[in-house]
Structure 1
Amino acid sequence: MSIRPILRFPDPCLKLPAAPVVDFDESVRELATDLLDTMRAAPGVGITAPHVGVMKRLVVLELTPGEVRTYVNPVLLWSSPETQRATEGSVSMPGVTEEIERAARVRIGYRDLDGNERVEEADGFRAVCHQHEIDQLDGIFWIERLSRLKRDRVKARYDKLRRA
């Protein structure tokens, strides 16, 4: 149980796809606990193992305080044709956010920390978070979902914050 250093944009590891978790052992539980501690310290509502330089498909979400959910090897199974816009950001790019359009509803498949297969349907903010974090596991950093102009503006704002 410790707070791990978070990789900062533009670290090249943030653009790499993560490998599936194969062994559901104590090390996966420890990583999930470290991710939760790190996310809370950041602060944030979602974090992936690649955010801390561990290239495994593991996500921790805490959208409501005290309601922690852990997703191992999550994959997007279905997304609705209806979309929604939501403000997104990243623990790897603190201080900047932008609105992104994503599917309004999703169904994901994943495993729990014991390796049991699960399916979850989500809408609203939870659906946005699933898509955001699965993108990260696939090596797609959130700003890649923006137009080039908006992406350049977000990078400029972030660079300005880092220099300050």
Structure 2
Amino acid sequence: MAIRLIVKDPDPVLRERAKEVTKFNANLHKLLRDMADTMYDAKGVGLAAPQIGILKRVIVVDVGDEHGLIEMVNPEIVEREGEQIGPEGCLSIPGLNGIVRRAQRVVVKGQDRDGNPFTIEAEGYLARAFQHEVDHLNGVLFTDIADEVYKIPESTGQEEEEE
């Protein structure tokens, strides 16, 4: 188990566009394992490689539903439908949450850890998590697109949804 340091805003790496992955090897497998370990340790539901300082198009997501851990390399949202408005937080922006508009349903195309293509359809909370993480790969933070950003009350010390 390797826990990586989560990069915090305003680190410039969070504003860069991540590069496509072309090598599917043991290094990528280790990165995916480390990202999942880091996400779970931080009690998040998603993590993008730039959040640990690596500019590669790699995300992990686990919203606690029947899908479990989803690893996706070179993810691309190919379809969006509907709208949901709700709270988001981010492991790279501790202490803040925001109200963010997202698509209610998305179709995401990408590759698994071995380079095999796959597509996943996601709705609701899972769709929100995918959109949040893909934004990270493009240098976009939830605070850039939120209708409202607010501090998390000190009494809880917890973010509503950390992604």
Q: TM-score, normalised by structure 2?
A: 0.88
Question: C-alpha distance in 2, partners of 1:109/1:86?
Answer: 24
Question: C-alpha distance in 1, partners of 2:105/2:135?
Answer: 15
Unaligned stretches of 5+ residues in structure 1: none
Q: How far did 1:95 drift? A: 2.8
The answer to whether the 8 A contact 1:86-1:125 is kept is no
Pairs within 5 Å for 1:102-117: 102-117=102-117
Question: C-alpha distance in 1, partners of 2:21/2:94?
Answer: 27
Question: C-alpha distance in 2, partners of 1:60/1:95?
Answer: 22
SS of aligned partner of 1:35: helix
Structure 1: 4+ residue segments shifted above 6 A? none
Does 1:76 find its partner at 2:95? no
Question: Which residue in 2 is equivalent to 1:124?
Answer: 124
Q: How far did 1:43 drift? A: 1.9
Unaligned stretches of 5+ residues in structure 2: 158-163
Task: Please report the RMSD computed on the Cα atoms of aligned residues, expressed in angstroms.
Answer: 1.8
Higher relative contact order (CA 8 A, sep 6+): 2
SS of aligned partner of 1:108: strand
Q: TM-score, normalised by structure 1?
A: 0.87
Question: C-alpha distance in 2, partners of 1:145/1:39?
Answer: 23
Which one-letter code corresponds to 1:27 in the other structure?
N
Q: Deviations over 1:32-86 (max 9, x none)?
A: 1100111111120100110000000100111117911101000010101x20112
